[in-house]
Amino acid sequence: MSMTVKAAVAREQGAALTIEDLELDEMREDEVRVRLVATGVCHTDAIVRDGVYPTPLPAVLGHEGAGVVEAVGRLVTTVQPGDHVIMSAAYCRHCRECRAGRMAYCENLFAQDFGGRREDGTTAFSKDGEVISSHFFGQSAFATQANVSESSIVKVDPTVPLEQVAFLGCGMQTGAGAVLNELRPPAGSSIAVSGAGAVGLAAVMAAAVAGCTTIVAVDLHASRLELATNLGATHVVDGSTQDVTAALAEITDGRGLDYILDTTAVPAVLVRAAESLAIRGTLALVGAAAPGTEAAFEIGGSLVKGWTFKTIVQGSSIPQDFIPRLVSLWQQGRFPVERLVRTYALEDVNTAFEDSASGAVVKPVVVF
């Protein structure tokens, strides 16, 4: 049966979200109805609101949701009413990449996560006959309730406070997964992280879990660099006052870094980072740039370094496997993501976006 929900709606590119009452349609056979407890605010929400990625507006965004299952469709087998869940990116489950266990690289990723529609073309939200895009990352979690794709659902320990870990499904998974699933640095190795926002700080914590002994955080905000030190960074570089290349050379005694993870997607930052790699080093990008963005790497003298550049989506994770592992690390105090959080009411979601953009808050979380 359909129901009325309260949601934050993105109606126009670049405009503030509006809090509205919407109709949520009848749940499909392969969907899970979730009552939201908390939803993280992510940079991807902002760039979709601003039209960088092509989700049709008006839309309900929000893709770092967590809540309690209220009902399940007839075909759903992974959860039941009352289960606590964290939600992550949806994937189609039937393309070659999904069937190979590489669902972060689902061939239908844009349709599944940014299309604003179910596979049959319908949306879950409407208002007085007006179509509102739904299923953003399979969930559209800036709403009190949502009909969620089963592939987005991750069951978690019900004793875990969801408002402290809701956002594991995107930013934290991306940063930590890039390190633990994709780069897999050996103990004793060195890594630098460009950008000490939520994704970068997740990477810093993951590098500490992996046993890296040189962990460098690079950012323009002194407060974030201080937080990075408290979360496991052995060195910090303030790009607003220091020569980053010279600082990295000094930290590594001129050898360079084994791994550099960039969360900024700024071409100049990427190019500079490549110059700071050790022989056989790896530079990885997780930051989202506008389609068509290019970086010009030097390929003559650097040939003999044998270095690697790679892009990483969603931490190369299988969410249903990786997110419970992150929860276990959180329970042990080894992944203290709650230290990044400031909470907001749904009515204050635009303030949350502003605080994230200004750097005043690392991870805003809307709590319902």
The domain spanning residue 71 has which CATH number? 3.90.180.10
Residues 176 and 162 both lie in one domain: no
Q: Indicate the pLDDT class of residue 288, thresholds 50, 70 and 90.
A: confident
For residue 105, give Cα distances in angstroms to 93, 112, 232.
11, 11, 29
The count of domains in the chain is 2
Residues 33 and 114 both lie in one domain: yes
Residues 269 and 346 both lie in one domain: no
Residues 124 and 158 both lie in one domain: yes
Residue 327, in any domain of the structure: no
| Residue 110 clears pLDDT 90, i.e. is over it | yes
Residues 184 and 299 both lie in one domain: yes
Q: How far apart are CA 214 and CA 192, in angstroms?
A: 8
Q: Indicate the pLDDT class of residue 2, thresholds 50, 70 and 90.
A: confident
Residues 44 and 182 both lie in one domain: no
Instruction: List the CATH number of the domain containing 305.
Output: 3.40.50.720
Enter the pTM of the model. Answer: 0.93
Residue 319, in any domain of the structure: no
Residue 247 has a pLDDT of 97
Query: Burial level of 44, CB count in 10 A (0-12/13-18/19+)?
Result: buried
Task: Yes or no: say if 172 and 202 are a contact pair by the CB < 8 Å rule.
Answer: yes
What is the domain range of residue 141? 3-169+336-367
Residue 328, in any domain of the structure: no
Residues 202 and 263 both lie in one domain: yes
| Residue 1 clears pLDDT 80, i.e. is over it | no
| pLDDT (tens digit per residue) in 189-209 | 999 999 999 999 999 999 999
Residue 74, in any domain of the structure: yes
